[in-house]
């Protein structure tokens, strides 16, 4: 009986990952948690071409500068984070790539347990192989929390700057990207001190990465499906 249940669950998750290559996730556990804990659920899914390349470049610059080059994991950053966390166990530092964050936010729940981290490794590997970089970025920018109860680039752009995500400027994109480490705490509008200090750094990083051909392939317009 247990083997049958395990087989059904394994086949089900595999099929779901394949479906999500073309279909946006109907809802995620993180979004449900936000709704049920009183933070709300504000979101609007849009096509990849309807999100400004500025925001795609901003999140790469802020969250995962090796996104175009790695296979889902930044092993050097993981080693550094593990060493840091061993020295300072009360100040945990993460090293999640955009691929890992996407796997966690779409297919799993928030947390740091060994079981969840193990599943995150598996799902990160799967979406890298099945979806590819552009689709990972597409889903990431549609499901990630970008404010308290605000999910996805389109809703964030509308709420913060009263414009569609495709029209975000570099400055606006950098401000949104700056909130991602803790979107419930770091307010984009009005900007907290952290946002005000962080977004100019992200803009400089954007300038440094702007000419990278591999990154341009990911962020420029064209279907990701």
Q: What's the token pair of residue 31?
A: 């979004």
CA distance 20 to 160: 28
User: Quick check: bond before 190 cis, omega within 30?
Assistant: yes
> Three-state secondary structure along 34-92?
HHHCCCCCEECCCCHHHCCHHHHHHHHHHHCCCCCCCCCCCHHHHHHHHHHHHHCCCCC
> Residue 166: CB partners within 8 Å, gap ≥ 6?
46, 49, 50, 51, 52
Residue 221: predicted pLDDT: 72
* Residue boundaries of the structural domains of the chain: 19-219
CA distance 183 to 187: 7
**Eight-class DSSP state of 101:** H
- 221 phi and psi, to 5 degrees? -70, 160
Which string of b and e fits 99-127 if b means at least 16 CB within 10 Å?
A: bbbbbbbbbbeeeeeeeeeebbeebbebb
Indicate the pTM of the whole model: 0.89
- Per residue of the chain (225 residues), give pLDDT as tens: 778 888 888 899 999 999 999 999 999 999 999 999 999 999 999 999 999 999 999 999 999 999 999 988 876 766 655 554 545 454 444 568 999 999 999 999 887 778 888 999 999 999 999 999 999 999 999 999 999 999 999 999 999 999 999 999 999 999 999 999 999 999 999 999 999 999 999 999 999 999 899 999 999 876 554
Answer positive or negative: Cα dihedral of 215, 216, 219, 224: negative
Residue 93: predicted pLDDT: 46
> Residue 195: CB partners within 8 Å, gap ≥ 6?
175, 178, 179, 186, 187, 188
Q: What's the token pair of residue 191?
A: 């900007």
Torsion of CA 22, 148, 100, 217, to 10 degrees: 60
| Angle in degrees, CA 41, 145, 24, rounded to 5 | 75
The pLDDT tens digits for 157-172 are 999 999 999 999 999 9
- Domain 19-219 CATH class label: mainly alpha
């Amino acid at each position: 009986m247990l083997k049958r249940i395990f087989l059904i669950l394994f086949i089900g998750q595999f099929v779901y990952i394949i479906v999500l290559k073309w279909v946006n996730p109907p809802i995620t556990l993180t979004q449900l948690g936000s709704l049920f804990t009183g933070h709300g659920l504000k979101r609007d899914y849009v096509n990849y071409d309807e999100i400004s390349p500025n925001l795609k470049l901003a999140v790469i610059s802020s969250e995962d500068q090796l996104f175009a080059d790695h296979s889902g994991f930044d092993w050097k950053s993981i080693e550094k984070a593990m060493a840091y966390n061993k020295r300072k166990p009360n100040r945990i530092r993460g090293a999640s790539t955009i691929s890992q964050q996407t796997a966690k936010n779409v297919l799993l729940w928030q947390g740091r347990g060994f079981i969840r981290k193990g599943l995150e490794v598996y799902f990160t590997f799967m979406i890298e192989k099945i979806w590819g970089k552009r689709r990972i970025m597409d889903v990431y920018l549609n499901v990630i929390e970008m404010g308290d109860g605000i999910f996805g680039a389109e809703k964030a752009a509308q709420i913060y700057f009263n414009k569609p995500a495709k029209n975000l400027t570099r400055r606006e994109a950098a401000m949104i990207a700056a909130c991602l480490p803790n979107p419930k705490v770091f307010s984009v509008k009005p900007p907290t001190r952290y946002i005000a200090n962080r977004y100019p750094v992200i803009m400089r990083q954007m300038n440094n990465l702007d000419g990278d051909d591999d990154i341009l392939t990911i962020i420029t317009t064209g279907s990701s499906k």
